[in-house]
Every structure is written in structure tokens, then in C-alpha cells.
Amino acid sequence: MFGLSELVIILVVVIAVLAARKLPELARSAGKSARILKAEARAAQEQRPPGGEGRHAG
């Protein structure tokens, strides 16, 4: 009958076909999340005091 690899390929194709309508929305959401994360990281860097505090010499 079918081997494991063939079943996995069929499953991936079925999921891709069923999820094709949601892909633009998911991509938009991922882009928005990335922009928010980048802005928060930039804000955290600006708040950190200069001088390398937080590093400990070991």
C-alpha cells in the first residue's frame, strides 16, 4: 500500500490545499509580529544604560 513517506507527503499537500486561503492572513500576522518584536527590542536597547552593566566578569 503506502509507505510512511508517501502518507506524509499526501498529508502535507492536503494541509497546504486546505490552508491556502489562510496563508495571506498568516503572512500578514507574522510580519506584524516581527515589526512589533523589532520595535520592542529597539526600545529595550535604548533603555539600557551605557557601560555594559549586567555583564559580570567571571
Chunked in runs of 10, what are the mean pLDDT values of the chain (58 residues)? 86 86 87 95 84 56
Give me the DSSP letters along 1-58: ---HHHHHHHHHHHHHHHHTTTHHHHHHHHHHHHHHHHHHHHHHHHHSPSS-TT----
State the pLDDT at residue 54: 56
What pLDDT, on the 0 to 100 scale, is given for residue 28?
93
Given this model, what pLDDT does residue 36 score? 95
pLDDT at 50: 66
What is residue 51's predicted lDDT score, i.e. its pLDDT? 62
